A and B are shown apart, each in its own frame.
Chain A
């Protein structure tokens, strides 16, 4: 049973560049989430997918952020025109099929983004 994987683990980019992160959820999970976490804080919700449908997007998420899950399996998170304030850990999580009554979320190792 492989867990949630994320790639890359670390990304350093210059301000103004675009970056894209990938998440592969646990294979039998149909729900996928993206979070952002800064030092000393808990995870902050960004967006939620059920299968390929993006059902919720945080109001805190600027238009520079976009996420996709084209085939209901892996997901990508893209940040355009990065700013120094985007520096954070980006976490992906997945949870079991809707309808199972289970809501626990399993997290990947995260992608640490540093914008210089």
Chain B
């Protein structure tokens, strides 16, 4: 099925560093969602975006809905050990009122 292109696939970072990841699509979305998933747990919603150009923060996390409506970005500032996990983007196509298209995830690993 259709998938979003999420990059990078994984990131090795030092504690305290800033992190950036993004998702792109060939089609227009009306909603972008960012989730974090820890091993053995369900995804946890971090940020929901509904308007092109929207920039929303949640603590050290900031996400943006791209103005073309075909991409979204997530930034994490001053990473800490508990940021480790897999981050997923998900988008709702303009023609759907419920179904989400998912990225393959970005695995964040903090170097010891």
Contacts and interface: CB of A to CB of B under 8 A. Distances in A.
Interface size class of A (residues with CB under 8 A): 20 to 34
Given A98-B97, A110-B41, A110-B42, A105 B102 contact: no
Contacts of B105: 40-42
Given A103-B92, A107-B42, A56 B33 contact: no
A91 interface: yes
Contacts of A103: 31, 33, 48, 92, 97-98, 100
A112 B31 contact: no
A112 B40 CA distance: 8
Interface residues of B, number: 23
B84 interface: no
Contacts, number: 60
B98 A42 contact: no
Interface in B95-112: 97-100, 102-105
Contacts of A33: 98
B44 interface: yes
A75 interface: no
A44 B50 CA distance: 23
Nearest to A110: B42
Contacts of A43: 43, 88, 102
Interface of B: 3, 31, 33, 35, 40-45, 48, 50, 88, 90, 92, 97-100, 102-105
Interface of A: 4, 6, 31, 33, 40-43, 45, 48, 50, 55-56, 91, 93, 95, 98, 101-110, 112
21 contacts: A33-B98, A40-B105, A41-B104, A42-B3, A42-B102, A42-B104, A42-B105, A43-B88, A55-B98, A91-B43, A95-B98, A98-B97, A103-B31, A103-B98, A104-B33, A104-B45, A104-B48, A105-B100, A106-B45, A107-B43, A110-B41
